[in-house]
Structure 1
Amino acid sequence: MSKNKEFVAVYGATGHTGAFVIAELLRRRLPVIAVGRDMPRVPAGVTARIAALDDAAALDEAFADCAVVINCAGPFLDTASPIIEAALRVGSAYVDVTAEQASALSTFELYHERARARGVTIIPAAGFYGGLADLLASTLVGQHSVDDMTVAIALDHWWPTKGTRKTGERNHVPRVVVKNGSLVPMTVPTTKTEWTFDSAHGVQEMEEMPFSEIITISRHLHVRNLRAYLNTSSLNEVRAEATPQPVAVDAHGRSAQTFAIEVIAHDSAGIRRAAAQGQDIYAVTAPLVVEAAARMLEPSFARSGALSLGEAFDAADFLRSVGSEHLMFELSAT
C-alpha cells in the first residue's frame, strides 16, 4: 500500500448501512473518511468530504488518499459505475454492498480486466446479500464441481430502510438463476416451497427470490444449477408500504431482526450444508465489508481484478474472523 493512501472512504456514510460501516471501521481503529452527496451528520472525529456522483473531479479529490472505497449508497445500478470509475482513476480498491443482480453482474463484466490492468481489487456485493452466501458456498465446496446448490434465507422480520425502498423502486431488471451452468431468467410466477431451518426460524414457507448471491457464487464456483429462496413472511413485510423502518434495540444500533442462511450442495459425494445465524442483515454487512477492507490494506494482499469475497480471500478463514463476534456458522455433510 502506498504511503499516501492510508484511509478507507465510505461513500453513503450517513445512510443506514453506511453508519454501521463507519462505526465498525472506528471500532477496528482503521482511518476513515466519510464521503457523500451531502454530510448532514458524521461521528465526532471523522473527516467528511462532499462529492456528488456526477462530479468526477470531486470524487477523485475525495478518494485520492484512500486505499479502499466502500460504497454503501444505493441504488447501485446508479452509483456503482461513477464510484468505480473514480476509484480506478486514483488507484483505490473498491467494495460495495449491492443486492442487485444487474449491478453486480455489470461490475464483474465491465471492470475485471480494467481493474487487473490498474492493479486494484474490485469486490461487488460483499454484504449480507451476495457476500455471506458466497463465503459459505466457497467454504463448502472449494473448487469442486457441484450439481445442485440452493441458498435459503429466513428473516423473522424485514423492516426495510429508505435505501431498500428506493432500490426496490429502481430495480426492475428480471432476476436470474443458474441452470445447466448458465445464467437464465427466473421462472415467473416464482416457485414456492417449504424449508426447515436448523434454527429458531423452524419451518418456513419459501419463495424463490434470488439476489446478488447468484452472481457472486456463479462467478467463480463450478455449480451446474443454483437457486435461492427467501421466506414468504419477510417478503410480505418488505412489500407492504406500511412496514416501518428498522429501530435500534441495542447499544450497537441493531434492530431486533434475526436471520438464518443455509447453503446446501448436492453432488455425487452426497449432501453438504453450510449455515449461519445472526442479528440484523444491515448491521452484519458492516463487519463483512470492513474485514475485506482490512485484508486489502495488508501489504501482502496482491489480488487484482473484479472478484467476489469468496474468490478474493480464504473463505473459511474470513468467516472465522467475522464469526467470532458477529455470526454463528457451521458446516456439515451427509
Structure 2
Amino acid sequence: MENSIAIYGAYGHTGKFITAELQRQGYKLILSGRDYEKLLYLQQQYPDSAIKAADISDSKSLDEAFFGTKVIINCAGPFLDTAEPVIQSALRLGIHYIDLSAEQKAVLDVFEKFSEKAKSNKISVIPAVAFYGGLADLLSTAITKDWDTIDEINVYIGLDSWHPTKGTRLTGDRNHYTRLTVKDSRLQELQPSTPIQWDFKNPIGIKDVVALPLSEIITISRHLKVNSINTFLSQNSLDDLRNAETPEPKPTDEKNRSSQLFCLEVVATKDNTKRTILAQGQDIYAVTAPLVVETVNRMLSGKLKKTGVTTIGEVFDASDFLQSLNEDDITISVIEESKLK
C-alpha cells in the first residue's frame, strides 16, 4: 500500500485523466466510487489497481475504501454533496484530501467547517485543485509574491468552445447559490454587469466576456490581501454550456483530450503597476490532471508549507509549481510588468 492513492469518482470524465496520469507516474491506485460495475470496467485498463465501491451515505464504506492510502482525490461532483462526507472520512483516517470543486459554496463550506479539524489532525485539505479554482490561484500568487497587498486581480477565461460533461451539467443544476466576488477586501454578491471585450490573442482571439466568478474567488481571497477580485468568462463558452444540445467532449489525441483550446489570463495591479500572466493549453478537463498529480507529488515529498484547509497557491511555491508543469499540458507565459496609464 506504500504511496497508494485513492481516487473517488475514478470512472468520471476528469477522474479518468487523473487515474491515467497517476498510473503513468507509478502510483498504486485504489479506484473508488458509487458504481461497482463502472469500477470493474475501469479496472480492465489498470489491472494492478484495486477497486472499492463506496457511497457518500455510508461512512463505513468510505473508510474501508480509503484506509491505508496516502491521499484521497475526490473527483465526484457535485462537491456540494460529496466533499463533506469524503473529508470526514479523511479526518477519521488521517489522510490528505484533494478535490476539483468549481463551486464557490462548496469551497467556502470546506474552509468554514474543517479548518480547525484538519489542522489539529495534521492533514492538508485542498479544495479546487483544478482548471477552475486552483490554476488562477497559482497564477495570481506567482505574479504577486513580492506584493504584501494588491489593488485588483482580474481573471479572464477564454475558451474556443465548451462541450460540458454530464458532471458539469449536474453541478450546474445543483449549484443554485448566489455568486460571490471580492470588493472592498470582502466577499460580496456579484452585481449585474454588461459584457466587455477581451483580447486573448491567438488562438482564442477577441471575445465578449461576462462576469462569472467561480471557486478561484474563494481560493485567492483566502490567502492574498486583495481589494478586488473578478472573474470573466467568454460568452461563447457560456452559450455552449447553457445549450442543452451541446454534446459532451470527444477525444481527439493519444491523451484522450478534446480539441478544446483555452486561455486563462490573470491581470494584477498595485498602485500604478500592472502584471500579467497567461496559461494556455488544450482541454480544461484534461489539464486538471497534471495540477492534481503535481499536488500529490509535492504532498508526498514533504513540500507542504502547512496543514489544515488551504489552497495550492498558498501551500506550495506557486512559481516553482507552474514551472514544473509539462508544456504539452499547459504553457505559462509571463508578460513584463507595465505602468498603468
* Residue 21 (structure 1) aligned with residue 23 (structure 2): no
Deviation readout 1:124-171 (Å, 9 max, x if unpaired)? 001000000000000010252111110000000100000001001110
Whole-angstrom CA distance in 2 between matches of 1:301 and 1:138 = 16
TM-score (norm 2): 0.94
The answer for the alignment partner of 1:283 in structure 2 is 286
Evaluate the alpha carbon distance shift between residue 299 and residue 218 of structure 1 in structure 2; reply closer, same or farther with a 3 A threshold.
closer
The answer for the alignment partner of 2:319 in structure 1 is 316
Deviation at 1:230, TM superposition (A): 0.3
Whole-angstrom CA distance in 1 between matches of 2:282 and 2:301 = 29
- Consecutive unaligned residues in structure 2, runs of 5 or more: none
Counterpart among 25, 30, 33 of residue 27 in structure 2: 30
| Counterpart AA for 1:174 | T
* Residue 157 (structure 1) aligned with residue 158 (structure 2): no
TM-score (norm 1): 0.96
| Counterpart AA for 2:215 | S
Deviation readout 1:68-111 (Å, 9 max, x if unpaired)? 00000000000000000000100110000010000011111111
Contact 2:8 2:74 in 1 (8 A): yes
Please report the RMSD computed on the Cα atoms of aligned residues, expressed in angstroms.
1.2
Whole-angstrom CA distance in 2 between matches of 1:300 and 1:153 = 29
Whole-angstrom CA distance in 2 between matches of 1:186 and 1:5 = 46
* Residue 237 (structure 1) aligned with residue 240 (structure 2): yes
Whole-angstrom CA distance in 2 between matches of 1:198 and 1:316 = 23
The answer for the alignment partner of 1:141 in structure 2 is 144
Deviation readout 1:253-275 (Å, 9 max, x if unpaired)? 10000000000011115110011
* Residue 292 (structure 1) aligned with residue 289 (structure 2): no
Evaluate the alpha carbon distance shift between residue 271 and residue 301 of structure 1 in structure 2; reply closer, same or farther with a 3 A threshold.
closer
The sequence identity of aligned pairs, in percent, is 44
Deviation readout 1:211-270 (Å, 9 max, x if unpaired)? 101001111011100100000000000000000000000111100000000000111151
Deviation at 1:290, TM superposition (A): 1.0
Whole-angstrom CA distance in 1 between matches of 2:317 and 2:86 = 26
- Consecutive unaligned residues in structure 1, runs of 5 or more: none
Counterpart among 83, 86, 102 of residue 86 in structure 2: 83
Whole-angstrom CA distance in 1 between matches of 2:302 and 2:211 = 42
* Residue 44 (structure 1) aligned with residue 65 (structure 2): no
The answer for the alignment partner of 1:198 in structure 2 is 201
1:1-334 superposed matches below 5 A: 6-39=3-36, 40=38, 41-42=41-42, 43-45=45-47, 46-142=49-145, 143-188=147-192, 190-299=193-302, 301=304, 303-332=306-335, 333-334=337-338
Whole-angstrom CA distance in 2 between matches of 1:187 and 1:5 = 49
Q: Secondary structure at the match of 1:234?
A: helix
Q: May I ask how many residue pairs the two structures share in their alignment?
A: 330
